[in-house]
Amino acid sequence: MSADAKAAIDAVWRIESPRLIAGLARMVRNLDRAEELAQDAFVSALVQWPETGIPRNPGAWLATVAKRRAIDAIRRQKRLEVKQTAMHRELESTQEFDDPFAATDDIDDDLLRLIFVACHPVLATESRVALTLRLLGGLTTTEIARAFLVSEATIAQRIVRAKRTLSEARVPFETPDASKRAPRLSSVLEVLYLIFNEGYSATAGDDVMRPGLCEDALRLGRVLAELVADETEVHGLVALMEIQASRSKARVDALGAPILLMEQDRTRWDRVLVARGLTALRRAEKLGGTFGPYALQAAIAACHARARTGAETDWARIAALYDALAALAPSPVVRLNRAVAIGMAFGPAAGLELADALVSEPSLRAYHLLPSVRADLLKKLNRFSEARSEFERAASLARNTRDRDLLLERAAACRF
């Protein structure tokens, strides 16, 4: 087969496999078996399509082949267990699969079930991530391994283990009921944001595959936002990811070192993604209700995105949003960011008071940004010698030479 034909069939897999696997999983009630059936159908496609060309509706073609096999298998099993009425019902319900064009709503429901199952809390986080990218992102094991800088065997093992765990725990192929919906949904959001950050924290020079993870996470977030359009936090997460991704061209310099938000060249922010992020945030706002941590972070990111220059930033609003975020998720890093925002909004003395309160915080003891923030505020208060020693302390804690050099330069500038 030519490389073109292979690439075209790979593309069909990426587009069609999530819905195909989701539909099959509903039918056979087993994720592993569903994936196997989907892959078998693709093997048939690999044999036939180079001869016949890719059909006009490849999804329907694959669904027909896979479902026919699934029905054959169920019938064989049924002959063995004739008395099982449950199987009867299953067989009846599979009749509708003879028509490959199942109603769109059904496919959407199947896809949502697949997302919830792949992100089930019974699974280790790394397994959820691998399973989600494989089943919903349509990525191959090789691609996932490359993206996470681990061996293919490791990813393959995580996926095998995840499927075994799901089947041992008898996790039903269902969307969670109302009582479990909130924690299950936050597990899904956590997985998506983890994938996004895995891609986002990698610098451009590291590996060209990694920006792909941001796109995968964003795409899955957008898919989820269409499936569960009534959840504020889903739109919040999408907004947060769109706005963060909009800065990707501006956030590292030519040598791959990070550029802080306030120092970024805003003309390099991606306007399409900013607009999409602001639209997603509006969808969250329209739903009403209180914002969760993702929507709050998105609202903060939106304040920066709306400001044409750093000087136009609405710090009072950011400070208020950090107040709300700190009340919801009171982590020391959130409190430090809040101190920065309050320092910008209400003057360095107010910010310093909050930053000082974090000095005894054990988890920030080795965090260079705490002394760096304090140094900034001290400098603005004209307390230069204190600022200088804080910049020096920050430099001693910095994890890379570029940050260290920058902090030492700033220490040296505190001479007046």
Partner 1 sequence: MRFMVIVKANADTESGRLPTAEELGAMHEFNEGLVKDGVLLAADGLHASSKGARMRFGGGGKPVVTDGPFAETKELIAGFWLVQAKSKEETIERFSRCPFESGEIEIRQVFEADDFGDALSPQAREFEARRRG
For partner 1, the binding residues (CB under 8 A) are 4, 7-8, 10-12, 14-15, 54, 56-58, 108, 204, 208, 211-212, 215, 218-223, 226, 248-249, 253-255, 259, 263, 265, 272-273, 276, 406, 409
- Closer CB to partner 1, residue 48 or residue 165? 48
- Closer CB to partner 1, residue 54 or residue 307? 54
Minimum distance of partner 1 from residue 384's CB (angstroms): 18
Minimum distance of partner 1 from residue 15's CB (angstroms): 6
Minimum distance of partner 1 from residue 53's CB (angstroms): 10
Minimum distance of partner 1 from residue 197's CB (angstroms): 18
Q: How long is the chain?
A: 416
Asked if residue 225 lies in contact with residue 188, where contact means CB atoms within 8 angstroms, the answer is no
Rounded to whole angstroms, what are the CA distances from 104 to 19, 20, 129, 158? 10, 13, 26, 32
Minimum distance of partner 1 from residue 227's CB (angstroms): 8
Phi/psi class of residue 57: alpha, beta or left (left: φ > 0; alpha: ψ in -120 to 50)? Answer: beta
Distance CA 90, CA 77 (A): 12
Minimum distance of partner 1 from residue 241's CB (angstroms): 11
Cβ contacts of 88-96, under 8 Å, gap ≥ 24: 90/27, 90/29, 93/27, 94/27, 94/67, 94/70
- Closer CB to partner 1, residue 273 or residue 394? 273
- Closer CB to partner 1, residue 170 or residue 308? 308
User: Measuring CA to CA, which residue among 238, 187, 248 is closest to residue 212?
Assistant: 248
User: Measuring CA to CA, which residue among 248, 379, 236, 208 is closest to residue 297?
Assistant: 236
User: Measuring CA to CA, which residue among 91, 21, 31 is closest to residue 59?
Assistant: 21
- Closer CB to partner 1, residue 69 or residue 222? 222
- Closer CB to partner 1, residue 48 or residue 167? 48
